């Protein structure tokens, strides 16, 4: 929609200010001061001088015919306003659906590069790649520095491609289904996993989340003519229960996992506490296949903008 006037949109704010100022002066002139007996007080000359317009002030109405102004173009109905908001949302969604790149420098001189793109918004389906990019040393000093940071060898570039999707659950059985696939050609590894999540409110500020995960890890290459292949697969399953207290920012979890390489369930318990905005501290204690106990305490900061 195009708007056109004889004077341009840049003067509308000035006209509105003049109109409001003139209305205020008219209302002030119609107010009758209360009767006060006795001699009339002398007017405040400084106030009158401040309120009186200066003849040297520019005439903002010069060259403008007020009778020809089209004030109807300032009226926007609710339908038009909704169309404008919807157009802005579509433009934002189109911008978010493009490729999203991010890069972080590693201590060994390489860079961690991540690229992702949304391909289906309904199920939040995304595809992407995680890459480690190294740069060729240009001088002998850079070559020695990279070898010293990587144990005497130069870092190698690598990468993996992945795809994720989040789908609805199955009625009252579970709430959300998440599927993830990842392929790493450099290390000849691939993974296909799925998790089922169910959330149950316990009280006003406490909830219980149950999650079952299943994954298949494959390592090796397939056979091609003239070259034999060797493939090994590892099947894993895990079960986790997590209680979250919203008011205090505390969550406690307990779970267990089992894989075809282990002969028993490995149990794990953990807790997470939110200290303040975007900062959390978490700790966990879990069993290992070697029979030892694995303990860890971590602190994290997360900020989105």
Question: Chain-wide mean pLDDT for the chain?
Answer: 75
Asked whether the beta carbons of 223 and 233 are under 8 A apart, the reply is no
| Sequence-ordered list of residues with C-beta below 8 angstroms from that of 112, at least 6 positions apart, any chain | 103, 104, 105, 106, 130, 131, 132, 133
Detail the DSSP E strand segments found in the chain.
100-105, 111-120, 125-133, 158-168, 176-184, 189-201, 206-221, 230-245, 250-259, 266-276, 279-287, 293-301
Per-residue pLDDT tens digits for 229-239: 678 899 999 99
Strand 266-276 to strand 206-221: parallel, antiparallel, or no bridges (unpaired)?
unpaired
DSSP letter assigned to residue 227: B
Mean pLDDT of 5-20: 42
Asked whether the beta carbons of 190 and 182 are under 8 A apart, the reply is yes
Q: What are phi and psi of 11, to 5 degrees?
A: -95, -5
Does residue 270 surpass a pLDDT of 70? yes
Per-residue pLDDT tens digits for 169-198: 887 788 899 999 999 988 888 999 999 999
Asked whether the beta carbons of 164 and 180 are under 8 A apart, the reply is yes
Handedness of CA 229, 234, 235, 237 (dihedral sign): negative
Does residue 11 surpass a pLDDT of 50? no
Q: Decide: helix, strand or coil at residue 80.
A: helix
Residue 43 CA to residue 70 CA, distance in Å, equals 42
Rank 17-21, 53-57, 63-67 by mean pLDDT and report only the highest.
Answer: 63-67
Share of the chain above pLDDT 70, in %: 65
Q: Decide: helix, strand or coil at residue 260.
A: coil
* Higher-scoring residue by pLDDT: 182, 49: 182
Mean pLDDT of 142-162: 77
Give the max Cα distance, the chain.
121
Say what the pLDDT of residue 141 is: 79
């Amino acid at each position: 929609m195009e708007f056109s006037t004889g004077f341009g949109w840049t003067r509308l704010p000035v006209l509105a200010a003049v109109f409001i100022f003139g209305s205020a002066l008219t209302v002030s002139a119609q107010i009758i001061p209360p009767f006060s007996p006795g001699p009339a007080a002398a007017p405040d000359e400084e106030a009158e001088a401040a309120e009186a317009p200066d003849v040297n002030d520019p005439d903002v109405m010069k060259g403008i015919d007020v009778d020809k102004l089209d004030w109807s173009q300032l009226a926007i109905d609710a339908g038009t306003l909704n169309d404008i908001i919807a157009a802005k949302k579509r433009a934002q969604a189109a911008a978010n659906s493009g490729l999203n790149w991010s890069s972080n420098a590693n201590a060994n001189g390489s860079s961690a590069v991540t690229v992702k793109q949304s391909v289906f918004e309904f199920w939040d389906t995304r595809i992407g790649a995680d890459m480690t990019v190294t740069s060729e040393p240009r001088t002998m000093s850079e070559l020695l520095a990279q070898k010293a940071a990587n144990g005497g060898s130069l870092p190698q570039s690598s990468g993996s491609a992945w795809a994720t999707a989040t789908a609805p659950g199955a009625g009252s059985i579970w709430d959300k289904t998440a599927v993830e696939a990842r392929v790493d050609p450099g290390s000849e590894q691939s993974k296909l996993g799925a998790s089922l999540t169910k959330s149950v409110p316990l009280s006003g500020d406490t909830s219980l989340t149950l999650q079952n995960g299943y994954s298949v890890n494959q390592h090796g290459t397939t056979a091609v003519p003239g070259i034999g292949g060797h493939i090994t697969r590892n099947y894993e399953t895990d079960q986790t229960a997590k209680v979250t207290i919203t008011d205090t920012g505390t969550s406690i979890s307990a779970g267990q996992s089992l894989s075809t390489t282990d002969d028993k369930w490995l149990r794990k318990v953990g807790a997470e506490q939110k200290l303040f905005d975007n900062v959390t501290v978490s700790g966990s204690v879990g069993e290992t296949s070697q029979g030892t106990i694995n303990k860890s305490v971590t602190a994290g900061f997360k900020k989105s903008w």
